[in-house]
Amino acid sequence: MRTLPLLLAAALAAGPALSQDRPPLQPLPEIPPPPGMPEADLEPQVTITTRGEDKVEEYRIRGRLYAIKVTPPHGRPYYLVDVRGDGQLVRHDDLSPNFMVPLWVIFSF
């Protein structure tokens, strides 16, 4: 019965002595972003302006215009989209199922 209190007292006395041998803590290095994150220049840049009474939203990637959304003050908005990537904009009255989303080559062999 006397051994338990003696062991407990010895463990408590040895704790501070053992902690003095540790080196000081160092800050961890910054964690790199996970693979597969989009690059900053691949995120669309949206410029909102007004032309007359129309609100115009221009969508660009790497400085290249690929879509425009025009919202008139009275009526429904419409879209001008560069479907083939040749700079010719085609009008769409809504984003129906046949709407072409800009596609990029992520990986090729």
- Residue 91 pLDDT grade (very low, low, confident, very high; cuts 50, 70, 90): confident
Structural domain boundaries in the chain: 54-100
Give the mean model confidence (pLDDT) for residues 67-93.
86
Query: What's the pLDDT at 32?
Result: 82
Q: Tell me: the pLDDT tens digits for 39-48?
A: 666 678 899 9
Mean pLDDT of 24-35: 85
More confident residue, 52 or 107: 52
For the record, the structure tokens of 80 come out as 């001008």
Contacts for 102 with CB less than 8 Å, ≥ 6 apart: 61, 66, 67
Q: pLDDT-derived band of residue 85, with 50, 70 and 90 as boundaries?
A: confident
The DSSP 8-state label assigned to residue 40 in this structure reads G
Sheet containing 90-92: which strands, arranged edge to edge? 45-51, 54-61, 64-71, 78-81, 90-92
